[in-house]
Amino acid sequence: MNELTPKTPSQPFVNTVSPKDAAREEGKTAPPYIPPQTDVSPSPEPHEYRCHCRPDQTPWWKHAVELAAVLVGITVALIYYRQLQTMSAQLGEMIKQSPEITKSADAAASAADTAKKTLDASGKAFQVEQRAYVYITAAMMSTPPICIIPGKKDTRVCADVHVANSGKTPAIGPRIVRYATFGENAEKMIKKMKIPSYDHPEGGMLGNIGDQFGTAATDPVDEKTAHQLVDGDESIYIYGVIQYFDIFSAYHETGFCSRRVPKSISFIDCGFGNWFDVRPDYTKQAK
């Protein structure tokens, strides 16, 4: 066979109908359709499933407790709410009254301070009125005026100073620190006097009756100078400080200075070296 000769199909057509057969079949009526019979059973009717719930098994007293708890909570909330309202109202009143309260507090504090100051002033006034006041009453040449300090052979000139208490209560442990000097440097020496410390009272008491005295001696002098001082040709100065405590345990001091008038037996105030409790500052005066 050549390439122009058609080949028979390797697989014949299935159920093919030729044109002739197709023409013959035209005009014929198709048989009615009969559904195939199957052995499948129809679906069963649906069943209705119902749920049956058991009644509440909670005891009645539990419900009562829960109800009581709810009521208590509501009651507490109402109480707190009313308290909050009351506190808010009180706060508002306090804010309104704050200036008045501040003024009242300031007035009370001022009154208390005034009362304290008045009490302190009254106490101080009482102490000032009742305390001791020790001062110099007299200065005079000793008898005899030429003196020798025990244990020493030097010649000195001595003078006595007398002190008294004019206060209403005794002076405790009065001590008379005294010195005697003369010459052109006397004033300078007196103003530079060093006052010893006196922290605790020593000795007895000095009441407002009677007096107390002490003797002051000059530095060693020759016989000529001693006679000049004794005869009044040269002024002699007696000075020092009286130290004591009052019955209120307060410390006090009185500075004194007296000088002998030339050609006289009398002593007068030096014009310096005298003070009462407050020491003078001579360095400021010198400037």
Q: Which tops the pLDDT comparison, 15 or 140?
A: 140
Neighbours of 165 (CB within 10 A): 25
Cis peptide before 196 (omega within 30 of 0): no
* pLDDT level of residue 212 (50, 70, 90 thresholds): very high
- Interatomic CA distance for residues 58 and 151, integer angstroms: 121
Indicate whether 131 pLDDT > 70: yes
Indicate whether 197 pLDDT > 90: yes
- Interatomic CA distance for residues 108 and 208, integer angstroms: 44
Residue with tokens 């360095």: 283
User: In this structure, what are the phi and psi dihedrals at residue 44, rounded to the nearest 5 degrees?
Assistant: -70, 160
- Interatomic CA distance for residues 277 and 254, integer angstroms: 6
The alpha carbon dihedral of 150, 154, 159, 164 has a sign of negative
Q: What is the mean pLDDT of the chain?
A: 81
Per-residue pLDDT, 81: 79
Indicate whether 1 pLDDT > 50: no
Indicate whether 135 pLDDT > 80: yes
Percent of the chain with pLDDT over 90: 47
Neighbours of 173 (CB within 10 A): 16
List, for residues 6-31, the tens digit of each pLDDT value: 555 555 544 555 555 555 555 555 55
Per-residue pLDDT, 218: 95
Q: Which tops the pLDDT comparison, 202 or 58?
A: 202
**Do the Cβ atoms of 116 and 237 come closer than 8 Å?**
no
Per-residue pLDDT, 225: 94
Q: What is the mean pLDDT of residues 59-84?
A: 78
